Amino acid sequence: MASTLTLHATGPVAPAEAWERYALPRRWSEWSPHILGADASAPRIAPGVTGRVHGPLAVRVPFTVLQVDGAARSWTWEVQAGPVRLTLEHWVAGAPGGGSTTGLRMRGPLPVLAGYTPLAQLALHRLVTMDPGRPGTPAEPPPGPQAYG
């Protein structure tokens, strides 16, 4: 029986940049520490795009993109490793006060979701906090309210 878990992260990276990090599989390894690379049938995610995510220990996990809504900055894909299938729905939105919030709704076997949650949470955090010019480094926080006087 499938279960559902939802995660969120908020950070200073602009929504357009966070979305591009999702939209280009070649960039997934910049912010997702458990993804060492990705091969995809197209350079940009779109319904029907397939490929493989490269993980540690030479693990290769096939994926299929099911849905993409660029205007809403959301997408859904499915990954399968052996008999285990996960459906992952991602989205990006502007955060109050600047930056962006990203979310992930995962559907699959609860033990797998529970085991994957810490890695997924770390990846989401990095997606919205890493400096776009220097992968692996925190972005500067968005400017706060200005005092004039």
Number of domains in the chain: 1
Tell me which residue range forms the domain holding 20. Answer: 2-129
On whether residue 9 sits in a domain, the answer given is yes
On whether residue 147 sits in a domain, the answer given is no
On whether residue 149 sits in a domain, the answer given is no
pLDDT given at position 145: 36
Q: What is the CATH number of the domain that holds 11?
A: 3.30.530.20
On whether residue 97 sits in a domain, the answer given is yes
pLDDT band at 134 (very low <50, low <70, confident <90, very high): low
On whether residue 98 sits in a domain, the answer given is yes
| Percent with pLDDT over 70 in the chain | 88
On whether residue 39 sits in a domain, the answer given is yes
- Decide if 24 contacts 16 (C-beta within 8 A): no
Measured between alpha carbons, how far is 16 from 13 in angstroms, rounded to an integer?
8
Say yes or no to pLDDT of 142 above 70: no
Torsions phi, psi of 62, nearest 5?
-70, 145
On whether residue 136 sits in a domain, the answer given is no
> Model confidence over 17-63: pLDDT tens digits?
999 999 999 999 999 999 999 999 999 999 999 999 999 999 999 99
On whether residue 41 sits in a domain, the answer given is yes
